[in-house]
Amino acid sequence: MESKVNETRPELSIPSFPLGSKLIPLIGLGTAEFPFGASNDTLKHTIIEAIRLGYRHFDTAAIYQTEQPLGEAVADALRLGLIESRDELFITSKLWCSDAHRDRVVPALQKTLENLKLEYLDLFLFHWPLSLKPGTYEFPFKEEDIFPTDLNSVWEGMEECQTLGLTKSIGVSNLSCKKLQTILSTAKIPPAVNQVEMNPMWQQKKLRDFCKDKGILVQAYSPLGGRGTVWGSDRLVDSNVLKEIAQAKGKSPAQVCLRWIHEQGVCIIVKSFNKERMKQNLKIFDWELSDDDLHKISQLPQSKGYAAEHFLSDNGPYRSVQEFWDGEI
């Protein structure tokens, strides 16, 4: 059933999905901006504005350097009465690779909570399937800082975070079907989420089908093709197919992209700090794409935006893009 836009309480228009003991709003605001930390002076105000507009789901990560301004915005929103309780928000953060070691996972989450000034996360994600030299927090990182990676022992640390009540749910990011299967083979608590790059020009059907079969919610980052990132492009919003669909619907190509992702049963992480675009990104829940629209979108050329070239090394564990993604791109 589709939501009707509620102009007075826009947050009520956003569909949600049960994730553990909480509902996850199916659209969230991402806070990554490269170079990391570049927008921190204005980010707190952007997040407060997003809460006013109806956003209740926010996505950060240790490496983004945005945990602290997000935490300050949450405190201000409570003080201003924009929300009555922290429980109204869904907050995600991520474990950086230098903490992807069994004994460093819990302390890393404790540090994240300290940055956010929160008692718990709603979702904690294992950011990339790679371990780096402990104590290094930089991206791009040095090739000599790459360590052997033990996905299963890192996942044990993630499970401990949930058992301790530091996070409501745990998940992964940037994992292929094969790597997900590796974690599932020993997991006591399976990943609740896999956050990956996904949009109409990188549709990820095989991965989505695998996750659906395993009960894992897919989250899409770079839903508009990573515009504004080092590797992103405007190929989606410049697509004639998407422009034609948008024009016929009285929508923007960006809204068509987001609506398509929503119709695939996927949670969307948008990232715009522009008030008008933040508002437009929420206006995707009270209309539908036709079967003809969906067919046209299914025929779009496919290519991954960010292939994780920075994560490769001649010394391993990943020597090629195909090895990193297990031949799934």
Question: Which entry of 55, 64, 120, 221 is annotated as an active-site residue?
Answer: 64
Separation of first and last alpha carbons in the chain: 33
Classify residue 63 by its DSSP letter. Answer: G
From the CB of residue 244, how many other CB atoms can be counted at a distance below 10 Å? Answer: 14
DSSP 305: S
Helix (H) or strand (E) holding 27: strand 27-30
Rounded Cα distance between 305 and 320, Å, is 16
- Nearest Cα neighbor of 193 from 2, 30, 18 is 18
Indicate if 64 belongs to the active site.
yes
Report which secondary-structure segment, H or E, holds 40.
helix 40-53
> What does the alpha-carbon distance between residue 261 and residue 158 come to, in Å, rounded to a whole number?
28
Report the alpha-carbon distance of residue 157 to residue 239 in Å, rounded: 43
Residues belonging to the active site: 64
